[in-house]
Amino acid sequence: MLEKVGVYCRLSDEDRFKVNKNDDSDSIVNQRSMCVKYAVSQGWDVVDIYSDDDFSGAGTYRPEFERLLKDCESGKINLVLCKSQSRFSRDMEVVERYLHNKFIEWGVRFVSIVDNADTNNESNKKSRQINGLMNEWYLDDLSQNIKKSLKNKREDGLFMGSFAPFGYMRSSEDKHKLVIDPIASKVVKDIFELYESGLGYYKICEHLNHSNVPTPAQYKKQSGSNFVCGCCDYQNVRWNVDTIAQILRNEVYIGTLVQGKKTSLGYKVHKSKAVPKKDWCRKENAHEPIISKETWDKVQHRLHSHECPTKTGEIHYLSKKVYCLECNKVFMRNVYNVKGETSGKRAYLQCKGARKYHICCNNKAIRIDELETILLDSINDLLDRYYDKSRLEQEYEIRKSKNTNMEEQIQILKKEKMNLDKKIEENKSYYRKLYEDKIKETIREDMFQMLSKDYLNEIELMTKRKNIIDEEIEALNKREENRKQAMDILSKYQHIDVLNKVIVDEFVDKIYIGIYNKETKQRNIEIEWNFEF
């Protein structure tokens, strides 16, 4: 029977010495030459040559490999020749499926030159299976080593993504370092500034589309990037709210690289799974930031407040700021038509608990313009107090004494924590000794259980107290930061004539509205500032 040979060659690593991308690599050429010479020496007829360059030996995701299998099934070839069995596949499952199953069914013989595999020789079936198993181990080890290597590089702050995030580009000196793209970064800054000023996602998209600003996909295409967006019509693609939301939440713009959010299920499974957030690789100050930390914090605060845009697409600066003093529900904004001398539309705020859920007695609405006047006067009163030097000096002395007391409190808490650490270690030592006594049978099992329970309970209680101390220290430090923030904010302004989103977000955390008193025609209004002064 005339052997109709199909020569199969494969190389997984990209050949650096190709003249162009379509050329076969030197290694492929060597494999092909070796196999053709061997076939001629055996008097076999080489029907076709199949070459997969830059394809892994795991699985069957190789175009020429698939063509080879079809030709085997159709009877075009009845012998597959490779340099080694690993060139055919390193996957044990694939080896078993074809070499010891399908090829027998199709009447196809497999021969490899270097490791002397031959399916016509029953005596070397076990050696073929051992080779397959060793190749499988090789793939598994290689996969694990690659994962560890990638993780180490991410932890070192090296960018391991395929394409630089919008606003950045790869450094010409180190492809794993990001540098600011002056053109795209301007768009990123504009997006953050527009959102900070009170515009919603839709309004920002409208502004960018109206200004004909290229989307990230369009910009990468225009810049000559190999980035391909399969679902994009590059001629008609427009900015959308999802893109804006992703940019506003991407920590890369404050110099922080967050990588490793997904991982492959395995080298055989071409799917990925999400990695828990605690296991992400996070590296701060990995590159130059585009957005300041101050702007980032303000934007994130707004993003987490779930503010609702008005019909114009803008976010009203009192959105998610006003709450009921009685039920703590947010105040809803409504616009009504007003008749009379001041006919037209007028905006009001009303407790959601009263209007929607009917669980609150604070059902009297408040005019937004009246609340704005109260808020503006309160902010300017803060500024007047700040610039009143005599009062400022008094308050400075008060703050100074508070700072001293705060530092003393922190030191007391730290000392208590040190004592707890010492006691925890002592209890652990007692527990170890107790366990040793149990092993030596110096004490009975029931005695060990009773005594060990006491030690473990004490350790648990002291650990909980340590956690509470950490929270108390953090709260004290936060108060100190708030005081420093007050000086920074108040020193920016002298007098404010008109409120806007930036000013309100900077000064105000929440506003609480009390029940309207029909007799006095007044209501209690409390303002919680973003700082302590």
**Helix/strand/coil for 270:** coil
Q: Do 201 and 241 form a contact (C-beta atoms < 8 A)? A: yes
The 10 Å Cβ neighbour count of residue 317 is 19
pLDDT number for residue 263: 78
**CA 134, CA 183: separation in Å to the nearest integer?**
52
| pLDDT score, position 59 | 58
State residue 287 phi and psi, 5-degree precision. Answer: -160, 175
Q: By the 8 A CB rule, do 6 and 48 touch? A: yes
Q: What distance in Å separates the CA atoms of residue 308 and residue 310, rounded to the nearest whole number?
A: 7
Residue 122: predicted pLDDT: 78
CA distances from 190 to 207, 310, 413 (A): 10, 21, 45
Region 168-303: CATH code: 3.90.1750.20
CA distance 205 to 201: 6
DSSP code for 215: P
- Write the burial class of residue 232 (CB in 10 Å: 0-12 exposed, 13-18 middle, 19+ buried): middle
- Say what the pLDDT of residue 469 is: 86
Q: Do 79 and 117 touch, CB atoms closer than 8 A?
A: no
Residue 268 DSSP class:
S
CATH class, range 4-153: alpha beta
How far apart CA 303 and CA 305 sit, in angstroms, is 6
CA distance 44 to 79: 9
Q: What is the pLDDT of residues 287-325, one digit of tens each?
A: 999 999 989 988 998 888 766 665 555 667 888 889 999
| Amino acid 338: pLDDT | 76
- The whole-model pTM stands at 0.50
Quote the distance between the C-alpha of residue 406 and its chain's center: 36
What count of residues does the chain have? Answer: 533
Please, are residues 475 and 406 in contact by the beta-carbon 8 Å criterion? no
SS3 letters for 449-503?
Answer: HHHHHHHHHHHHHHHHHHHHHHHHHHHHHHHHHHHHHHHHHHCCCCCCCCCCHHH
The per-residue pLDDT for 19 is 41
Under-70 pLDDT residues of the chain: 1, 13-26, 57-60, 124, 126, 128-129, 132-143, 145-146, 228-235, 265-270, 306-315, 340-343, 388-405, 479-490, 532-533
- Report the relative pairing of strands 344-351 and 366-367 from DSSP bridges: antiparallel
- In whole angstroms, what is the distance from residue 225 CA to residue 165 CA? 12
Q: What is d(CA 325, CA 511) in angstroms, rounded to the nearest whole number?
A: 9
What is the model's pLDDT at position 486?
64
The predicted-structure confidence for 480-496, as pLDDT tens digits, reads as follows 666 666 666 667 777 88
Give me the residue spans of the domains in the chain. Answer: 4-153, 168-303, 322-375, 386-513
